Chain A
């Protein structure tokens, strides 16, 4: 009985893991301002307001 219950629990849990693991987390989890930032900001904003000038390819030539 012990083996059946815990064996079934293990199989069911693995099934949940392999299915749910591939689903993206909810917006409640992802859209937070206090998330852990492990990889740095991809879109880092280094532009100083009022001091930036847009550089166009035509200007370089």
Chain B
């Protein structure tokens, strides 16, 4: 028995702040309403198709990229913090909006570095497939410590992004994040960020696997697919930046 008498008496905490209310919904879900691996993968396929359609629009109408980026960002915040159960309606819109943004950004990079888009797309999906194989085979095992390391690393990276964003209003920015900075330090930073973004995929795979295993409600398939899309979009943007830096040398 555990040395902690409170755990022995009451079991593990069921505080909704820790479980975000996901587990309470799972008990009432019937068999055909439960999350499955098939469903999550199919929904990721739908979101990817929507993202590519959006990219086609963004590529042809580049003026839409900033409105689409803002809409996508708001939709992501709504899905994550407001109501994950609404992911069924917000996730497709998010994928479409981010697709428009990615299409425009890719066009900008492509005008500077010919053939960069297909390289970034190939590498992004290559990383996705190889990490999925590593995860499924048990080569990479996500643990609580792994999660803590990822949260700390991502926190640091987003702080860097935030500082850079604020500095942009004053006409400057962190030069290490500039896509045209081909210094070794800048490339090293980009490789580090790409590694973190890639390892986030492992957490997403584990989220989907655990959700399906524990019979979470059907809407979690959309939520799992959405979280995978968020990571893939981040990874793609960082790979674009990394290739641009390497080709600027």
Contact = CB atoms under 8 A, between A and B. Distances in A.
23 contacts: A7-B122, A9-B125, A13-B122, A13-B130, A17-B128, A17-B132, A18-B41, A21-B40, A22-B38, A24-B209, A25-B205, A27-B138, A29-B209, A30-B213, A35-B206, A36-B210, A38-B22, A38-B210, A40-B14, A40-B19, A42-B23, A44-B12, A48-B9
B121 interface: yes
B11 A44 contact: yes
Nearest to A32: B141
B199 interface: no
Contacts of B133: 16, 20
A12 interface: yes
A18 B45 contact: yes
A31 B2 CA distance: 21
B175 to A, nearest CB: 29
A48 B23 CA distance: 23
A46 B216 CA distance: 22
* Chain B residues touching A, majority SS: helix
What is the interface residue range for chain B against chain A? 35 or more
A28 interface: yes
A20 B44 CA distance: 13
A29 B136 contact: yes
Given A20-B133, A29-B141, A36-B143, A7 B118 contact: yes
Contact of B11 (A18, A27, A32, A41): A41
Interface of A: 2-3, 5-10, 12-14, 16-18, 20-30, 32, 34-36, 38-42, 44-46, 48-49
B211 to A, nearest CB: 7
Contacts of B44: 17, 21
Contact of A12 (B10, B38, B119, B129): B129
Contacts of B23: 39-40, 42
A21 B8 contact: no
A10 B190 CA distance: 21
Contacts of B213: 30
Given A2-B115, A10-B118, A25-B135, 14 more contacts: A6-B119, A8-B122, A9-B123, A12-B129, A20-B136, A26-B136, A30-B213, A35-B142, A36-B143, A36-B146, A36-B210, A38-B210, A40-B19, A48-B8
A6 B207 CA distance: 29
B26 A28 contact: no
B126 interface: yes
Contact of A5 (B122, B203, B206): B122
